[in-house]
């Protein structure tokens, strides 16, 4: 995976400090292997370009011929699925315009589905123990 912005785990805004990171995976329609190396590189550039506009920070991104892995930090006041929808919509539009073979091979570039997993450095059990121990403080 390509490392990006990995130096800062916590992000601070005027009112919030957060570490809301997500592992996101989505596939091409029918899981077709249509993402050539050239298309994969352009896809990565497009994802990085939209960070500010869509309010996410790319931690890592990698792609295969039929799917994409994205590790991003998204503010807690923004819906993860809305960010994914914007990324998928934007990248599909640009890639289909720049690479007409994608339009001929598929009715749409991406599936409607996706995988989202929250990423943390602490286990659920450790967090439960920490919360329980706060009662005595």
Find the helix or strand (DSSP H, E) in which 27 lies. Answer: strand 21-27
Mean pLDDT of 116-123: 84
| Most distant CA pair in the chain, distance | 64
Residue 4 has pLDDT above 50, yes or no: no
pLDDT at residue number 6: 45
Q: What is the mean pLDDT of the chain?
A: 90
User: What b-and-e string marks burial along 67-76, b requiring 16 or more CB atoms within 10 Å of the CB?
Assistant: bbebbbbbee
Residue 7: band (very low, low, confident or very high) from pLDDT cuts 50, 70, 90: very low
Residue 84 has pLDDT above 70, yes or no: yes
The 10s digit of each residue's pLDDT in 8-51 is: 578 898 999 998 999 999 999 999 999 999 999 999 999 999 99
Predicted TM-score (pTM) of this structure = 0.84
Helix, strand, or coil (residue 118): strand
pLDDT at residue number 137: 59
pLDDT at residue number 136: 65
Which is more confident, 129 or 42?
42
In terms of average pLDDT, the best of 3-12, 105-114, 122-131 is: 105-114
The CATH number that domain 2-136 falls under is 3.30.70.1290
């Amino acid at each position: 995976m390509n490392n990006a912005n990995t130096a800062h785990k916590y992000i601070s805004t005027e009112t919030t400090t957060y570490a809301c990171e997500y592992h996101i995976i989505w596939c091409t329609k029918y899981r077709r292997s249509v993402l050539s190396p050239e298309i994969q590189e352009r896809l990565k550039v497009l994802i990085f370009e939209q960070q500010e506009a869509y309010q996410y920070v790319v931690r890592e991104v990698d792609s295969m011929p039929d799917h994409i892995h994205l590790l991003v930090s998204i503010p807690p006041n923004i819906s993860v699925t809305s960010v994914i929808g914007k990324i998928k919509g934007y990248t599909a539009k640009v890639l289909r315009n720049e690479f007409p073979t994608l339009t001929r091979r598929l009715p749409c570039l991406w599936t409607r589905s996706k995988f989202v997993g929250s990423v943390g450095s602490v286990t659920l059990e450790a967090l439960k123990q920490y919360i329980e121990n706060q009662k005595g403080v």
